[in-house]
A and B are shown apart, each in its own frame.
Chain A
Amino acid sequence: MLEATPKELVERKALRVNPAKTCQPIGAMYAALGIHGCLPHSHGSQGCCSYHRSHLTRHYRDPIMAATSSFTEGSSVFGGGANLRNAFKTIYQLYDPDVIAINTTCLSETIGDDLPTIIRESRESGIIPEGKVVIHANTPSYVGTHITGWSNMTKAIVTYLADKTETPPETPYINFIPGYVEPADTRHLKEFLAQLGVNAVVFPDTSDVVDTPQTGSFEMYPYGGTPVEDLHRTGNAQTTIALGPDASRAAAKELETKCNVPYQLLDLPIGVAATDRLVQTLIETTGITPPASLKRDRGRLVDIMTDMQQYLYNKRVAVSGDPDQVVPMTEFLVSCGAKPVYVITGTSSKYFKQRCAEILQNVVPEAVIKDDTDLFYLHQLIKNEPVDLLVSNVYGKYIARAEDLPFVRFGFPILDRVGHSYFPTLGYQGSIHLLCNILNTLLERKDRDDPDEVFELVL
């Protein structure tokens, strides 16, 4: 299928082939699902909402609920205000959510709908009932990527809901923003914070929303999601720890601007070093003493790294994904002895370029680091000089097949396998799972490729 990919690299300015990103609204919708009792609402054509829901449904294999303003030709001429007001009426009559989180689309942005005014007027005229929360984020599809959308909606949560009250809370706590991660990761990070004895408001929290159990009933608003009361409390927190700068910086900064809550930005805790930095930061900001169980978790991660180091040493790896994921993944691979020779992302990201360069400049000076690019380009790189392993979201499977590469699915979306929403890849424990996945993929290939005379029982 990818036979047509030429080796020759040419500068492309007009054409995107096999994208390594998607548009803002889906990220905003996913972030909105991390609020308890929230119905995301897409202010645009029906198709946007339908596509985002389908895509998220394929990735999580769970019902994904969101409403749409169902734009028509008339709305594109006269504006989408009437549609949104009608939408409020329908939504409260039919679905009665506690929170509506509206994301815009390229259409509503370009025709210039003024959402704050529409929301304010709808509240004044009683279309939005007393006590109901409505927030919005501007997420034009022609700016940034799905990561930008997540970031904007997470920031909007703060803008609309964070309160700073006069009296400080009795028990101090921190804000913890996990970034654009899987529900399994957020669940694990909450357990991790509990293990360390850190009191935190974690948001947005999509665990128990998009990975719900089989209960025999269809729940419009599942058990999980950060409750609105907790979101109000974020303004009174001691500090904010935000993971994944591209996804979480905006919200953390907004908390500082609006409520004077200082923040620390960290890489997602993938691998020993990044998780160590998170633990260290938690020690410094909250004064906790890490329990012995945490040291043992760390020790087990280091144990598997040492047990199996020979299988990763000097392996050439191509990594594609979102900046916040690729940076610590690259660091983790380097710490295991592998050589990430190509690291790419579809999102424009200074963070990505700077951090990857820092991580790779001494160990893999020949590495190609490129943001704002696509999988066609990555395939070209691989065709010029092959790799031993490809790490990417599901769309890497075409390249893996064309070049017969061992392939680890990692990131968003994964449309053809299960487990990503159940097994974390963050923290010491999550990193163990991730590393096992990488190692087993390589060993599976070795067994497949080894001729009989070197095929071994014990590896």
Chain B
Amino acid sequence: MNNPILKERADQVHRKGNAPFQISCDRDSLAGAVSQRACVFCGSRVVLYPIADAVHLVHGPIGCAAYTWDIRGALSSGPELHRLSFSTDLQERDVIFGGEKKLTNALNELIDRHHPNAAFVYSTCIVGIIGDDLEAICKRMSEEKGIPVIPVQSEGFKGNKRAGYNAACRAMSRLVGTGNIDDVSPHSINILGDFNLAGEIWIIRQYFERMGLQVVANITGDGRVGDIARSHGAAVNVVQCSGATLDLAKMMKEDYNIPYVRVSYFGVEDMAESLYKVANFFPDDPSILEQAKALVREELSVLYPQLQAYRQDLEGKKAAIYVGGAFKAFSLVKAFRLLGMKVVMVGSQTGTSEDYQELHEITDEGTIIVDDSNPLELSAFLQEKDVDIFVGGVKERPIAYKLGLGFCDHNHERKEALEGFVGMLNFAKEVHSTVMSPVWRFVPRNNK
């Protein structure tokens, strides 16, 4: 096997300590790389799909719908419409003669059967090529059915996942401003960029409510069309995650002058900081900040003693992180530190140069920082650093296990809520259970 780092990729890898920080990112993956990245459609689909009372129709060949059918545990407290898979299942004749009629018929049938509050129609690669006029069809269907029918311009080849986030935000922005905001309190927020994996948004929402804030819309975890429609009534947009919904916050700033604040709910410091940041938006009511402080105190008094037991076992263990967005990586670095662990490698699929700059600042000497990596590189880094646990997504999991390392899914397939103070405890438990599992005794790494 050759050197696992290709020279064209050398500037997308940085080792902290040996040179001034510089990293290339936000560029297209090299053709031929076994990239861990996905496409525009994927980006749009993951952002919009948790809106549970809408119909999500994938206009394309069957695969795009099949691979995104209920793969992400975005929980709903009510309707489950988003968990069904709807596709126009385009065939060769549709590619030749166009799929517009099929799309119209499909929408007719779907809307009449399910009476959704909105319909999202996702464009795929092939639709971008054959040129179906989604805009016109959706407009006509909206008029006929009396619900928003919204095209999502998510042709797979038109960029990477980030472009898909943007398309999703543009789609949602059409809903914003269409609802009644009479009963929205001046002390109100929208939660953006949380997808309610394992019920996380319920934890966060409850924190904000304990502070005396009204949560207008969940965007998009456990999301509802009607809430998004009146989300322009909220006083602040609270945006989590690297960029999935940041564009929507920017649009709402532009259109409705709603300020936004970027937060993270992972780890103790970032969670507390997020609550304070939001509270500071409401200086007219000091009780909100007071409540936030009380909440943090209360949660920490429960959490810290419980964390200590895990920390004892985990002290000094080494972690590697490879996630979709870099924002999540910041919090993970801090969370591992709280557990007494060392982060020796950190990377992301879609980080920006500012993201990597920040990662550089918060990591220790010798840490490997990497953009848009691939399995060979990752496995070389993991072995070089003799890592105890790897945090990643579905495609990283089996690599970790083959090397004989613990693994924590911080992506779609997360089964435990990792956000909030209770999430930190869950994270500690999960890290502890995988790092301390007796099975690693049987792998060659520990069996020499």
Q: Which residues of A contact B (CB under 8 A)?
A: 1-2, 4, 6, 12-19, 21-26, 39, 41, 44-55, 57-58, 61-73, 75-76, 83-84, 86-91, 93-96, 105-107, 110-111, 140-143, 145, 212, 214-220, 346, 395
Contact = CB atoms under 8 A, between A and B. Distances in A.
Contacts of B50: none
B125 A106 contact: yes
Contacts of A49: 35
Interface in B94-134: 94-95, 101-106, 109-110, 113-114, 124-126, 128-130
B67 A45 contact: no
A53 B42 CA distance: 14
**Looking at A45, A61, A141, which has the most chain B CB atoms within 10 Å of its CB?**
A45
A54 B28 contact: no
Interface in B43-87: 60-69, 71, 80-81, 83-87
Contacts of A67: 32-34
A142 B6 contact: no
Contact of A51 (B36, B42, B90, B91): B42
Q: Which 9 residue pairs spanning A and B have beta carbons closest together?
A: A47-B39, A23-B63, A90-B32, A87-B32, A216-B444, A14-B105, A141-B61, A16-B89, A51-B67
Contacts of B374: 94
B286 to A, nearest CB: 45
B214 interface: no
A46 B88 contact: no
Contact of A76 (B34, B41, B128): B128
B33 A70 contact: yes
A55 B92 contact: no
Interface stretch (B145-153, B192-200, B392-400): B392-400
A15 B65 CA distance: 12
Contacts of A87: 31-32
Contacts, number: 254
Nearest to B61: A141
Contact of B84 (A18, A52, A140): A18
A140 B38 contact: no
Given A216-B443, A220-B376, 9 more contacts: A15-B88, A16-B87, A18-B69, A23-B64, A46-B160, A48-B156, A105-B125, A106-B60, A142-B126
B390 to A, nearest CB: 11
Contacts of B156: 44-48, 71, 107
Contacts of A91: 32
B402 A63 contact: yes
A24 B442 CA distance: 39
A46 B32 contact: no
**Looking at B8, B31, B61, B89, which has the most chain A CB atoms within 10 Å of its CB?**
B31
B310 interface: no
B1 A220 contact: yes
B202 interface: no
A83 B36 contact: no
Nearest to A75: B157
A73 to B, nearest CB: 5
B340 interface: no
Contact of A50 (B39, B60, B104, B375): B39
A76 B69 contact: no
Nearest to A221: B1
A1 B75 CA distance: 12
A23 B125 contact: no
B174 interface: no
Interface string B367-378: 000000011100
8 contacts: A17-B85, A46-B29, A50-B39, A52-B67, A55-B67, A68-B34, A106-B124, A140-B92
Contacts of A18: 69, 84-85
Given A63-B398, A218-B402, A19 B65 contact: yes
**Looking at A6, A22, A70, which has the most chain B CB atoms within 10 Å of its CB?**
A70
Given A54-B394, A107-B126, A15 B63 contact: no
B19 interface: no
Interface of B: 1-2, 4, 6, 8, 28-42, 60-69, 71, 80-81, 83-92, 94-95, 101-106, 109-110, 113-114, 124-126, 128-130, 156-160, 374-376, 379, 383, 394-395, 397-399, 401-404, 442-445
Contact of B62 (A73, A145, A218): A145
B90 A142 contact: yes
A215 B31 CA distance: 30
Nearest to B38: A50
Contact of A106 (B61, B68, B101, B160): B61
A90 B33 contact: yes
Given A68-B31, A110-B95, A14 B106 contact: yes
B157 A76 contact: yes
B88 A1 contact: no
Contacts of A96: 1-2
Contact of A84 (B31, B87, B88, B110): B31
A82 to B, nearest CB: 8
A104 to B, nearest CB: 12
Nearest to A395: B69
Nearest to A90: B32
A69 B28 CA distance: 11
Contacts of A95: 34, 376
A19 B58 CA distance: 12
A70 B37 CA distance: 10
B443 to A, nearest CB: 5
A141 B156 CA distance: 14
A68 B156 CA distance: 13
A75 B401 CA distance: 36
B130 A110 contact: yes
Given A44-B125, A57-B394, A16 B65 contact: yes
Contacts of B71: 54
B444 A72 contact: no
B6 A94 contact: yes
A21 B395 CA distance: 22
B345 to A, nearest CB: 15
Contact of B379 (A24, A75, A218): A218
A89 to B, nearest CB: 7
Contact of B61 (A142, A217, A218, A220): A142
B372 to A, nearest CB: 10
Contact of B80 (A1, A88, A216): A1
**Looking at B4, B84, B113, which has the most chain A CB atoms within 10 Å of its CB?**
B84
A12 B109 contact: yes
Contacts of A19: 62, 65-66, 69, 85, 87, 89
A13 B67 contact: no
A26 to B, nearest CB: 7
Given A87-B31, A106-B61, A94 B2 contact: yes
B33 A216 contact: no
B403 A23 contact: no
A212 B6 CA distance: 27
A46 B37 contact: yes
B31 A66 contact: no
A37 to B, nearest CB: 12
**Looking at B39, B66, B89, B94, which has the most chain A CB atoms within 10 Å of its CB?**
B66
A421 B69 CA distance: 22
A30 to B, nearest CB: 13
A217 B113 contact: no
A51 to B, nearest CB: 4
Nearest to A62: B398
Contacts of B397: 57
B28 A51 contact: no
Contacts of B394: 54, 57-58
A215 B402 contact: yes
A142 B92 contact: yes
B36 A50 contact: yes
A34 B145 CA distance: 50
Contacts of A66: 34
